[in-house]
Amino acid sequence: MTLALALEQLLNGLQLGVMLFLMAAGLTLIFGVMGLINLAHGSLYMVGAFACAAVAAATGSFWLGLVASLACAAAAGAIVELLVIRRLYDRDHLDQVLATFALILMFSEGTRWLFGSFPLYLDIPPLLQGAVALPGGAQYPVYRLAIIAAGALVAFGLYLLIGKTRLGMRIRAGESDREMIGALGVDIRTLYTVVFALGAALAGLAGAMVGALQSVQVGMGEPVLILAFVVIVIGGIGSIKGALLGALLVGVVDTMGRFLLPQMLALFVPPSQAGLIGGAAASMLIYVMMAIILAMKPRGLFPAAHA
């Protein structure tokens, strides 16, 4: 193992962490403010990816596709909140789970009807093609570095939005005491729609950016959704800071585990077995980490004040 290879895997872990943060930030905002378990959040990730791929194919511009991913995911989120989610706030979590699971099926079949079963592909824009040299001589794709930078900008933007604006003040108040801000004259229904649309837009952005690294296909959001739930449990439900730290932890631990464990096991068993055992063990690492963190901090690393 060389320094350059280890650094490359670390950057891959950061890039995965940034993607998980974009998913988890919206998910934790929705749960923190609205008390809603939204299993359909992965479908909004898929909507963003398909919108970006379709618009980029029609116009030849990845950047227009990126704008479309934000707009389409936010619009889809707002429509879902108005037509379906709004009727679930006073229901128990089982009803929310069943309804949002039904939305997963509807989004998946609707997308398959519109685009077919075959995957779509996104080209990396020319501006972000190529690679940069890492210490040690390895080359690392510019596009992956751009994803990390975009995630950092979004995290800073969310910090400013939540901490420094009137909307952020209402969101934080909604996390602490929904009934009180309603009594003070805040239109709680509009706030819920805005929060849901914001969370959907973040998921759509993540889907669009990942779409250029892998194929865009039906059902692509569900595996990411599972990791996003792990992130918000580790970070603390309702906490943006917790979502950021939890996402980076999960991304780095998962990526470095898949890289290092097979090499460590190869010292004791044949390489073919080391790859199989190491891959299986690496897939368990994030859940072991979650269990250890919850044993020490049952409410996560940075629980919201109301949790």
pLDDT of residue 94: 86
pLDDT of residue 8: 87
CA dist., res. 305 & res. 307, Å (int): 6
pLDDT of residue 26: 85
Walk along the chain (307 residues) in steps of 10 and give the mean pLDDT of each run.
79 92 88 80 93 92 93 94 86 86 92 89 88 81 92 90 81 68 73 88 93 89 89 87 91 88 80 79 87 90 66
Closest C-alpha to 235, from 220, 221, 219, 251: 251
Strands (E), the chain: 131-133, 139-141
Domain containing residue 110: 3-218
pLDDT of residue 133: 84
pLDDT of residue 178: 65
Phi, psi dihedral angles at 44 (to 5 degrees): -70, -35
Phi, psi dihedral angles at 131 (to 5 degrees): -145, 160
Q: Which residues of 47-74 are buried (b: 16+ CB within 10 A; e: fewer)?
A: bbbbbbbbbbeeeeebeebbebbbebbb
Give a yes or no: residue 233 inside a domain. no
Give a yes or no: residue 44 inside a domain. yes
3-state secondary structure at position 307: coil
Asked if residues 14 and 148 have their Cβ atoms less than 8 Å apart, the reply is yes
Give a yes or no: residue 129 inside a domain. yes
pLDDT of residue 54: 93
Written as one string, the DSSP assignment of 41-93 is HHHHHHHHHHHHHHHHHHHS-HHHHHHHHHHHHHHHHHHHHHHTGGGTTTS-H
pLDDT of residue 172: 72
Give a yes or no: residue 241 inside a domain. no
Closest C-alpha to 15, from 119, 156, 147, 173: 147
Give a yes or no: residue 291 inside a domain. no
Give a yes or no: residue 267 inside a domain. no
Give a yes or no: residue 54 inside a domain. yes
Give a yes or no: residue 120 inside a domain. yes
Q: How many domains does the chain have?
A: 1
Can you give the pTM of this predicted structure? 0.87
